[in-house]
Amino acid sequence: MAQAASRNARTATVLSAVVLAMIGLSFASVPLYRIFCQVTGFGGTTQVAEALPTATASQRVMEVRFNADVDPSLPWRFQPLERAVSVRVGEPGLVYFRATNLSEQAITGTATFNVTPMKTGEYFTKVACFCFEEQRLEPGQTVDMAVSFYIDPEILDDRNVEEVKAITLSYTFFRKQDAEPGIQLTQRSLATDTR
């Protein structure tokens, strides 16, 4: 009888540990998945660099297209200033997106992003981007927000992307519900009233 009680206690302890481990993994899964996507470029996740490449740009030219969307709960207008640019592989690119707060109140938004085809995500590298920080726009305010990027020259060695001639960088802005007052834009701001 004592042996059965000991076995039951040991089973209960093991099952409790398994349940706790599963709960811990469920909380850790989102950050771990994000890290996995950033490292591998999985799902069109772009890479982030602290500086532009120092190597000479390749002769291969690729078109980079831009897409901008806004969640319906965010009363902003958001669009790229250029629909597409052509860049040589390894050459730095700089483009701007324009956002306008169409509401009568200050709103903070945050942007998500990806690239397609997804297999190019590991080669599309952003050096600076408005998507790295939350953006706060005052009522009627319009701002131009920069994205500095390059296509990593390692793309030239990947036979899986040889046929790719164009990459699309897509952003979607969402309303930040728990925004802190006082978060200011770090990009060049245009105090334009659109009313």
- 38-56 pLDDT, tens per residue? 555 454 455 454 555 555 6
Phi-psi region for residue 135, left (φ > 0), alpha (ψ -120 to 50) or beta?
beta
Which range among 44-48, 113-117, 175-179 shows the weakest confidence by mean pLDDT?
Answer: 44-48
Residue 85 has pLDDT above 80, yes or no: yes
CATH number, domain of 121, equals 2.60.370.10
Q: Looking at the whole model, is its pTM more than 0.85?
A: no
Residue 179 has pLDDT above 60, yes or no: no
58 and 136 belong to one structural domain: yes
pLDDT of residue 185: 38
Instruction: Decide if 109 is inside a domain.
Output: yes
Q: What residues have CB less than 8 Å from 26, skipping those under 6 apart?
A: none
Query: Span 21-49, mean pLDDT?
Result: 54
106 and 183 belong to one structural domain: yes
Contact 83, 96 (CB under 8 A): no
Query: Span 57-66, mean pLDDT?
Result: 89
How far is residue 20 from each of residues 71, 115, 138, measured CA to CA in Å?
36, 36, 45
Owning domain of residue 52: 47-190
Evaluate the omega torsion of the peptide bond into residue 153 and state whether it is cis, within 30 degrees of 0: no
